């Protein structure tokens, strides 16, 4: 079931050090990379079908093509390692066990778009992992792998690590750039047409850590080799994180198209003794929840998840057992999102707070069935009426819990 592309070196002792990393294939793609034209590298990524693994699943290659050519301004690669979505802890595996794979991916990506300055934005709480990436970058500079001449080639590349301040919203790419520019992390209005991002008025591309870490395999082996895994629309693999009352929680690399229940029962070891599967949030806490019955038929790829009314997101699967009170689950989630709303948009700022207050009242015994209609009405007001997808995502998870587990809310009202 497992396929190890990104996670190939995770189990090798000290693979985070340059010596061991090189002994196990890191930077072996660079010679082939510089024998290719930059445009050919991009085309190979396009043909591979590589999709962004930070939540949205947008095709990676076409995104690279938005970088303007022959622009006199400097261009930038920004690697999104904020990873502050509850239930998601896959990118930190790359930081911890194979940071040189990420650096190799940054070299490949930067060469493809003629970029000479790259930033890795890491969430503020990731102190250990940020230090490990810093150490790997220092090793790479000292060895001449990056810097004025990348491994002796006529191409310069500098990589800088920037630690965020711990704000969830900075996982959204435009808020991340605002933060990187030294401003408050507020999402930007989306342009009317497709274009690259802008960093201090200069063209930039933002990619997730795992997305970048997937590029060396494609450069080394070609797009067809990557497409041997996964499905036609969702080719390749993804690092799936599983947390909750399963016997073997952790991070596993799987091909897209794997049945969710097989993943839980094989690599996950099934539910812990005495526990029964009740629900599952499939891709980080902002994805619509699935019932145990829906999990039986769920498949881990983007299109299949959309077809059953949820999203694959970051692949951070949160398993919930039958002892959980789903009203408390909803309250736990909305409390987090209420705190993390950047406050820029009124429907989000006020809506998350309103729902948080309602659910508090329900759990304290002063709620009524009419509150459910109010929650759904507020969720409708939040959905599609804000600058970024924060509010719509919150609306989706809360709406799904209320609709699928309405009976548990009714039980709370009947306790009064």
d(CA 184, CA 167): 10
Range(s) of the domain holding residue 102: 18-227
d(CA 251, CA 32): 30
Does residue 136 lie in a domain region? yes
Report the CATH number at residue 296: 3.10.20.600
- Mean pLDDT, the chain, whole residue set: 96
Percent of all residues in the chain with a pLDDT value above 90, rounded to a whole number: 94
pLDDT of residue 287: 96
Q: Is residue 182 part of a domain?
A: yes
pLDDT attached to residue 416 = 63
In this structure, the answer to whether residues 268 and 287 fall within a common structural domain is yes
Average pLDDT over residues 370-375: 95
Q: Based on the structure, what is the number of domains in the chain? A: 3
pLDDT digits (tens, 9 = 90+) for 97-142: 999 999 999 999 999 999 999 999 999 999 999 999 999 999 999 9
Average pLDDT over residues 266-295: 97
Structure tokens at 91: 């990118």
Q: Which string of DSSP letters, residue by residue, matches 123-180?
A: -TT-HHHHHHHHHHHHHHHHTTSSBSSGGGSS--BEEEEEE--S-GGGGSHHHHHHHH
Which of the listed residues 298, 321, 344 is the one where a domain comes to its end? 321
Residues 70, 163 within the same domain: yes
CA distance 264 to 242: 8
Whether pTM exceeds 0.85: yes
Domain check: are 190 and 62 in the same one? Answer: yes
**Residue 102: both structure tokens together:** 């990420």
Q: Are residues 39 and 174 in the same domain?
A: yes
């Amino acid at each position: 079931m497992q396929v190890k592309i990104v996670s190939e070196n995770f189990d090798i002792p000290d693979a985070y050090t340059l010596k061991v990393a090189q002994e196990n294939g890191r930077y072996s793609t660079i010679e082939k990379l510089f024998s290719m034209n930059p445009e050919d590298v991009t085309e190979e990524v396009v043909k591979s079908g590589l999709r962004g693994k930070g939540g949205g699943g947008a095709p990676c290659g076409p995104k690279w093509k938005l970088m303007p050519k022959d622009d006199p301004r400097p261009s930038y690669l920004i690697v999104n390692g904020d990873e502050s979505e509850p239930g998601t802890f896959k990118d930190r595996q790359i930081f911890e066990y194979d940071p040189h794979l990420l650096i190799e991916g940054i070299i490949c990506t930067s060469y493809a778009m003629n970029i000479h300055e790259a930033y890795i934005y890491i969430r503020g709480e990731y102190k250990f992992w940020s230090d490990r990436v810093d150490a790997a970058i220092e090793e790479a500079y000292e060895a001449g792998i990056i810097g004025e001449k990348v491994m002796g080639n006529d191409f310069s590349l500098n990589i800088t690590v920037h630690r965020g301040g711990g704000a969830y919203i900075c996982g959204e790419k435009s808020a991340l750039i605002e933060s990187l520019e030294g401003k408050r992390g507020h999402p930007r209005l989306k342009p009317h047409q497709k274009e690259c991002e802008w960093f201090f008025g200069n063209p930039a591309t933002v990619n997730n850590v795992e997305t970048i870490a997937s590029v060396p395999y494609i450069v080394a082996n070609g797009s067809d080799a990557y497409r041997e895994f996964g499905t036609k629309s969702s080719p390749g693999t993804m690092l799936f994180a599983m947390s909750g009352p399963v016997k073997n929680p952790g991070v596993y690399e799987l091909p897209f198209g794997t049945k969710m229940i097989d993943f839980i029962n094989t690599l996950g070891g099934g539910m812990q003794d005495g526990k029964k599967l009740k629900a599952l949030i499939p891709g980080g806490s902002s994805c619509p929840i699935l019932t145990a019955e829906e999990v039986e038929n769920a498949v881990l790829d983007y299109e299949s998840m959309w077809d059953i009314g949820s999203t694959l997101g970051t692949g951070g699967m949160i398993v919930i057992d039958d002892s959980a009170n789903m009203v408390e689950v909803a309250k736990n989630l909305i409390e987090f999102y209420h705190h993390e709303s950047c406050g820029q948009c009124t429907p989000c700022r006020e809506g998350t707070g309103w729902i948080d207050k309602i659910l508090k009242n329900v759990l304290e015994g002063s709620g009524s069935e009419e509150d459910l209609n109010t929650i759904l009405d507020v969720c409708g007001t939040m959905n599609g009426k804000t600058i970024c997808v924060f509010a719509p995502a919150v609306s989706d998870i809360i709406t799904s819990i209320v609709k699928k587990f309405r009976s548990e809310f009714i039980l709370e009202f009947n306790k009064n």
